[in-house]
Structure 1
C-alpha cells in the first residue's frame, strides 16, 4: 500500500445510501463535536460521492458534528495519533489506524471495545472479514473496527492474452507460471512486453505468489517459516523470471506509478496490485486498453489445490478510540454509524474498500464494480502480510532485503531466507 492512498473512481451511481443510516438507541448529545483523525481520503469516502454522507443520519440523530483532522501522508497521521495518545488527555475522539501500526505497544494506547460492544453492539460483527478482525485484538480484546481495505489480486490485460493466442485462464500455479513466460515477448515494433511486473517494496506482493505454493514469511501465530520449501520455491521461480526477462530489468526500483503506465501502454501483461487499481487501468482516457483489464485470484499449486486455502494479502484501516479520549461514548456512536451495513455501503459507493463481505452483494455496488464477486471472495479469505509484533516494520524491511537479493541473483534463495530468519528471530523477543 502506498503512503498516499488513492480514492476509487466509480461512474455515476444514483446515490442516497446514507439515507438509511439511522441507528436505534443512540442517545442525543447536546451540541457536541467529534474530532476524527485520518487520511484525506477517509473524510471524502465517508462524506462525499454517490453514496452520500455516511455520517449524516447519525449526526442528525445525535446532535453531534464532526471535526475532521486529515493529512495526505500515512506517516503524518500515525505520528500525530501516537503522540496524542500518549498525552494525559487528547482532543482526538476517533482515529484511523493502519494494520501495520496495530502492533501490541500501539494497541495498548487505544480503548478495548468489549464493554462498548456489550452496551451498544456493532451491527452484524460477524459480517466483517475474519482476516481484518483478528489483527485488531490484543489479549483477547478487540481494539478497532475495520472500515477500509486494499486486497491484492493478479490483474491482467486480456487484450495481450488474445495477442498471444491465449484463450484459457490458468487453473493452477504451474499454468500461471507458464502464462507469465508466454506473455513475455517483443512486438514487431520493438516494444518489450514483460509477462509480470510489480513493485518490490511490499512484502505483500511477494506473498501473493508465495502463498500459492504454501509459502510465507511468518504464520499468523508468529512462527518464522520464510526458509521453508514453499517460500524458497517461490523465490527460485521469481529469480528465474528475472533472469529470463519475465520481470522487468529495473524490478528492484520500479514504482506503482510506472507499473500503471506500463499496464496502460501494454508494456506489461500482468501485475500484482489491489483490486481498486482496475478502475485506473480501465480508464479509457489513459490508453487504448480501457475496459480490457480483469482480475484473477492466483491459483494454488496443483499438489496443494483442495488441501490448502489460498489467503490473499490485504492491508486495512480500522477506527480506534484513544484511551485518553474525552468523549468515548459519542466517538463509539460515530464508529457504529460508519461501520454499519448502510454506512459501509455508502462509503463503498463513494470509493471506499468495504470491509463487510455482504456489501459486495448490493446491486448498485456490483454495477460500479464488475469485479465485486472476485474481491468479495478474496477479502473473505484474506490475511495480512505479517502478524502484529512490535518490531514488525523492521522485520518487513529485512524480509524485503533478503527477498530482493534472492530474486536479483545476489544470493541463492535458500541462503537469503536462512539469513532473513536469522536476522528477524531476535526481533520477536
Structure 2
C-alpha cells in the first residue's frame, strides 16, 4: 500500500521533527553512536591516561557517542572484524587492523580513503612515518590510517655491562656480537646469565639482527632473499650463539613474559623488543634493576656502515572503515580526530606508540619517554617484516620454522633458507 503526503504537509512534519531534535528529550534528540572494534589497549590508549580522552573533541563536534567493542586477544579481534566486513552490512563503523592482516585480500573489504581524504584531509599527512603507509595500499588506493606502532630496538641492562667491565655500547655489529658473548656468564651462586634472549616466534626479531648485515627474508617488492649470504650469515651466527649458551637452551619456546622476568632479574643482559618494553623493565617494583635499562638501535656491520641504512622492524595497527559500514562520514571524522596531531599526542601520553614523527618532540612525551629521540629515529627508518601478500601469514610461519631449525642446529643455515625459499615461492602466486 502506497501513501502520499502533500509537500505542504511534509514541510510541517519536517519542521516539527527539526524542532523536536533541538529540545531536550525530543524524539530526535539522541546523539549518534559510532561503534569501534579493536583490542582493549586501543580503547585504553584512546580514552584513559595522562593524555586524557582523545575522542572527546570528536564526540562533541559530532554529537556522537563511541561504543567500543573490544577483545583481549589479537586473533579474536580479527576473526570478528573480517567476519563482519564480509557480510552485506555491519554495525561496525570503524576498526583496528594489524599490519600482518593488511594483505590485499583483506584490504579490499575496507573503504578506499582517498575520496574522503580529499573532502576532509587529515592534518599534516606527511608527518606519518612513511614505512607505515605503503603496506595499506592496494594499487594506488589507501585503505587505512596508521594509529599505533611497536618498533623493535635492542634493550640492554647497563648494570650488567658495568658488572662485566664494559664501558661503552657497541658501535658496529661486530662489537655487538662480542658484547653478547662477554655478557654470557655464570654468577658465583650458579645463576646463568644469557647475553641475548628474545622470542623465536616472530620474524621481526630475527630481522632486527639480519638487517645489520644487509639481510632479509624478502624485499619490499616481494623478492625472496632469505637464501642469500647476509641472511645465512646471520643464522649461522645465531646457531653459534645457541651452541655456546649465549642464547637460552629453551630458545625456541621462551615467551615474552619469561623474557621480561629474566631481564628484570638480571638473568638476561640484552633482548630484542619494542621500545615500549622499557617502561615495564624499568619498573623498580619488579626488580633491582629498575631505571638501568636502555635502548640501542643495533649498529650496522663495519663494511656496510654509512652505505646501507638500518631498517628497524615495525608492527603497527591502522584504523579502517568496512566497505559495508553504514556511517562512513562519521567514521572518517573519528579517524581524523584520533590521527590528528593532538589526538596522536594524547594517545602517546596514554601509552600508545605514536605514528607521527613530530609527536616525539612534545616536551611532556620526552619527559615520560627518555628514549623518545631514539624511537623517533627508528620509526622514521622502519620497515615491516614481510611485504603484504595474501599468503603472508603462511610464509611467515615457514620462515620461522626453517629459521629455528638453523639456529637449533637441526639444519645448516644455507639448507634451511634454501628450503624456506622453495616452500614460500609457490605462495607468491
Please tell me the TM-score bracket, short chain as reference. over 0.9
The equivalent residue for 1:272 is: 272
Q: Does 1:290 align with 2:290?
A: yes
Shift of residue 341, structure 1, vs aligned partner: 0.2
SS state at 2:393 partner: helix
Q: After TM superposition, list the pairs within 5 Å mapping 1:252-401 onto structure 2.
A: 252-401=252-401
- Gaps of at least 5 residues in structure 2 are 1-28
The equivalent residue for 2:129 is: 129
SS state at 1:35 partner: strand
Distance 1:185 1:31 in 2: 63
SS state at 1:208 partner: helix
Distance 1:30 1:110 in 2: 28
| Superposed CA offset, 1:175-230 (max 9, x none) | 00000001011111111110000010101000000000000000000000000011
- Runs of 4 or more off by more than 6 Å in structure 1? none
Distance 2:82 2:57 in 1: 30
The equivalent residue for 1:32 is: 32
Q: Does 1:174 align with 2:165?
A: no
- Pairs aligned (count): 401
Q: Does 1:234 align with 2:234?
A: yes
The equivalent residue for 1:151 is: 151
| Superposed CA offset, 1:13-35 (max 9, x none) | xxxxxxxxxxxxxxxx9721111
Distance 2:241 2:176 in 1: 12
SS state at 2:216 partner: coil
The equivalent residue for 1:196 is: 196
| Superposed CA offset, 1:318-375 (max 9, x none) | 0000001110001000000000000000000011110001100000000000000011
Q: After TM superposition, list the pairs within 5 Å mapping 1:107-118 onto structure 2.
A: 107-118=107-118
The equivalent residue for 1:224 is: 224
| Superposed CA offset, 1:116-153 (max 9, x none) | 00000011111010111110011111100000001100
CA RMSD of aligned residues (A): 0.8
Distance 1:70 1:118 in 2: 30
SS state at 2:133 partner: helix
Distance 1:159 1:73 in 2: 35
SS state at 2:401 partner: helix
SS state at 2:59 partner: helix
Shift of residue 86, structure 1, vs aligned partner: 0.9
| Superposed CA offset, 1:24-58 (max 9, x none) | xxxxx972111100011101110111100001012
| Superposed CA offset, 1:222-251 (max 9, x none) | 000000011000001000000001001111
The equivalent residue for 2:24 is: none
Distance 1:268 1:44 in 2: 31
The equivalent residue for 2:183 is: 183
Distance 1:84 1:318 in 2: 17
Higher Cα Rg: structure 1 or 2?
Answer: 2
The equivalent residue for 2:428 is: 428
The equivalent residue for 1:93 is: 93
Q: Does 1:78 align with 2:78?
A: yes
Q: After TM superposition, list the pairs within 5 Å mapping 1:242-257 onto structure 2.
A: 242-257=242-257
Shift of residue 270, structure 1, vs aligned partner: 0.2
Distance 1:286 1:362 in 2: 29
The equivalent residue for 1:140 is: 140
Q: Bigger shift: 58-67 or 345-354?
A: 58-67
The equivalent residue for 1:22 is: none
